[in-house]
Structure 1
Amino acid sequence: MSAQNQTSSRRTAAQKNRENLNRKRNQSQRSAPAARGPQDQKPPEKKEEKKQGRKNYVETEETKRLIKRADRCLMSGYPIHLTGRSGAGKTALALEIAARRDRPVTVITGNHEITNEDLLGGITGLTSTKLVDNFIRQVYKKEVNIKENWTPGKLVEAAEKGHTLIYDEFSRSRPETNNLFLSILEERVIPLYGTKQNKSHVPVHPEFNIIFTSNPIEYAGVFEKQDALMDRLITLEVAYTQRTTESIIQHKADVKQKEAKVVWGVLKNLQEEVKEAEGLLSIRSALMIATIAQKAEISINPEDEEFTQVCQDVLSGEVIRFEGTDTFAKASRLVKNAVQKTK
């Protein structure tokens, strides 16, 4: 055999040996489990914790009785009126009462700028259609129609479909606007005056009812309520006992019962310091103090300076607003005295 043929045979044999070696190595890698590094290992699955959403409304014996009384009136076809000082929880209670009726809920918030158009609806644009007829070459016909688009307001939609309407802070709307509700409550129709509609009124669905809420007349921005409207409502006062109030603060701010008692005690002491400022005793202000302290991990303790500062930040402006004093320095001193008196 020539030297050239021997060299070629050796190359062919070496190539076959390499191919066999690679084949065995690949088979070994496929059969053996792949080693996982720390980054490849799956962490143990964690069971998802079900988070229950907190209600805006806190259930106590007192609130349950109030809801039962309100539901009884609504089932009989009479609208109710929840009244009480600011921050008493009227809106949360109204939402809970409405939810229990198993009907869709519509919310309207009163203000001095709201008009009949906002409640009934109005023109929201124009629709133009054009027809061009050129079937006969010598005759050209063009027809243009313009139609106004009318969109019904929240009140009309709720009344037609039988929603439960919450008219929140209705006494902040002008009396002439609220006159619209007289026909709804008396004749069970909604007059459509001023809407450019062919029909004069809309009949009210049998399941439609209204929950009104309002602040007392002494609050700024509140109009005097019409006697004709109030005669058609059943008024329920939202004024909770101290025990219920503390339960609301405890639940909504996620604090302990004794901490809720301390926060409400500060407001009660401040009320005594500034007797003429009756609006200071507010659940809303108490919730602000408790929530800020809880989230900032500040001890709700009258001896804690940070807690005193939180109370001053929340309440000093309120003292001035309700004319308890005329400067922040005086208001802060009043709040500090109220905190120090709290046991």
Structure 2
Amino acid sequence: MADDASRKRTVRGRKIRSDRSRKESRKAKKALARKASSAGERNGDSPLSDPEEVVPEPFVETDAVQSLRGRITGWLEADQPVHLIGPTGCGKTALALSAAAERGRPVVWLNGDDAVDTAALVGDHAGGERYKEDDRFVGGVTKQTEIVRERWVDNPLSVAVREGATLVYNEFARSDPAAHNVLLSVFEEGVLERPGKRGGDRTVDVHPEFRAIVTSNDVEYAGVHTQQDALLDRFVGVQVDYYDEETEFEIVKAHVDLPDERIERVVDATRALRDELAVIVGTRAAITAAKGVAVFDGQDDDELLAAVFTDVLAPKIAGEGADDVDDLRAEIDESI
């Protein structure tokens, strides 16, 4: 009888150890799943930003700015993706970020270039993670179980559609149009497909609060790709041009500490050069020129303005030769 009881205790002990082993294994797998899913947030890699953190500083609020932003937010409320189109240096990016922040939803930022492909938008495999479990329930005996889990990392588009964020895709037209095929199903069917992802979660249902704002320069700019009509047909296009004189004055004033009369002179010169020169003279150029005036203050005003604007605009004709820079200076002298 004693031997039989001892045998039963031994069998029961083995069963308990087996149950504990399976339980620990399940706990390990769950912990590993949580670790993989939250890795981006812990490492500071999450593309999600709080809306109040993305508003450009400083950002000027004039009637013209508020009116244009109101058009953008109105289309977003109508569940329409918005395409901001306009010349470089006119403030498209700042306007897009301000409109995104107005929604009060998290914001995801993406900058376009030739290196952006489908994986850069939706995600990719990022290697495997290994977890080893040691079972030491029996003295002198170690049982080791190795768990390998392939780790998938979502990229900006996947995060934005899942979390209901506002995607701000800057310089959208600089990316290869083939990378944007995944956007068709997002806008048309409310589903994001993640090529390369295996299993039942290969697709993501688009969150009802997801919205998108993309910006691009006009098609004649270097490095800009013509996007497919099927995708562009799903956007509403909002043309952004240079602001009125009052708004440009307020923008420059917000960025540079100069007396009002000096800022007025810079803005007047900017607008005159914009009409006269073949190169683009944006609001960004006015801000840079005003910073130059502040640094080199004390020189003759007209001479200083001409020298500063020549330095600011010369990179736009880089490589064309010294004579062309001289010609540019002559045109600037004549204009201002």
Change (3 A) 1:331 1:269: farther
CA contact 2:56–2:94 (8 Å) conserved in 1: no
Provide the aligned length of Structure 1 versus Structure 2.
Answer: 281
Instruction: Identify if the C-alpha distance between structure 1 residues 247 and 141 changes in structure 2 by more than 3 Å, giving closer, same or farther.
Output: closer
Cα distance, 1:272 vs structure 2: 5.0
**Alignment of 1:292 onto 2:292:** yes
> Hey, what's the Cα distance between the residues in 2 that align with 1:217 and 1:288?
25
The residue number in structure 1 matching 2:207 is 205
Q: Report percent identity of matched pairs.
A: 33
Give matches, 1:1-343, under 5 Å. Answer: 55-131=57-133, 143-239=145-241, 240-271=243-274, 273-274=276-277, 277=278, 279-298=279-298, 301-302=301-302, 305-320=303-318, 326-342=320-336
Q: TM-score, normalised by structure 2?
A: 0.75
The Cα shift of 1:328 comes to: 2.9
1:311 is displaced (CA, Å) by: 1.9
Shift of residue 309, structure 1, vs aligned partner: 2.3
Once the 2 structures are TM-superposed, how far is the Cα of residue 287 of structure 1 from its aligned partner? Answer: 1.1
8 Å contact kept, 1:80–1:211: yes
Distance 1:100 1:261, change over 3 A: same
CA distance in 2, matches of 1:54, 1:147: 40
**2:11 matched residue in structure 1:** none
Amino acid corresponding to residue 297 of structure 1 in structure 2: D
**CA offsets, 1:99-119, max 9 Å, x none?**
111111111001110122222
The CA deviation string for residues 224-254 of structure 1, in whole angstroms up to 9 with x for no partner, is 0221111111111111233332332233233
SS of 2:179's partner is helix
Deviation at 1:256, TM superposition (A): 4.0
| Inter-CA distance 137–294: structure 2 relative to 1 (3 Å threshold) | closer
Structure 1 residues 256, 232: CA separation in 2 closer, same or farther (over 3 Å shift)? Answer: farther
Residue segments in structure 1 that go unaligned for 5+ positions in a row: 1-52
Tell me whether 256-265 or 128-137 shows the greater mean CA deviation: 128-137
How far apart, CA to CA, are the structure 1 residues paired with 2:299 and 2:204?
57
Q: Deviations over 1:45-82 (max 9, x none)?
A: xxxxxxxx983431111111111111111111111111
Q: CA deviation at 1:135?
A: 6.9
For the 8 Å contact 2:131–2:146, the answer to whether it is kept is yes
Matched AA of 1:262: R
- Return the offset for 1:146: 1.7
**Conserved in 2, the CA contact under 8 Å of 1:293 and 1:300?**
no
Shift of residue 120, structure 1, vs aligned partner? 1.4
Asked if structure 1 preserves the Cα contact closer than 8 Å seen for 2:100 and 2:166, the reply is yes
Q: SS of the residue aligned with 1:127?
A: strand
Is the contact made by 1:290 and 1:300 (CA closer than 8 Å) also made in structure 2? no
Letter in 1 for 2:333: V
Q: 1:128 aligns to what SS in structure 2?
A: strand
Q: Is the 8 A contact 1:262 1:301 kept in 2?
A: no
243-252 or 108-117, larger mean C-alpha shift: 243-252
Secondary structure at the residue paired with 1:280?
coil
Change (3 A) 1:197 1:152: farther
Mapped partners of 1:287, 1:336: distance in 2: 22
Structure 2 distance, partners of 1:141, 1:187, is 50
Show structure 2 runs of 5+ residues with no match. 1-54
Deviation, 1:167, is: 0.6
SS in 1 for 2:301: coil
Contact 1:267/1:338 (8 A) holds in 2: no
Task: Tell me the TM-score normalised to structure 1 length.
Answer: 0.73
Alignment deviations for residues 186-209 of structure 1 (CA, whole Å, 9 cap, x no partner) = 111111122334423111111110
Question: Of the two, which has the highest radius of gyration?
Answer: 1
Residues 112-167 of structure 1 deviation map (CA, whole Å, 9 limit, x = unaligned): 10122222122223212345668789998654332111121121112111111101
- CA positional deviation for 1:319: 3.6
Q: What SS does structure 2 have at the residue aligned with 1:99? A: helix
Q: Which amino acid aligns with 1:255?
A: L
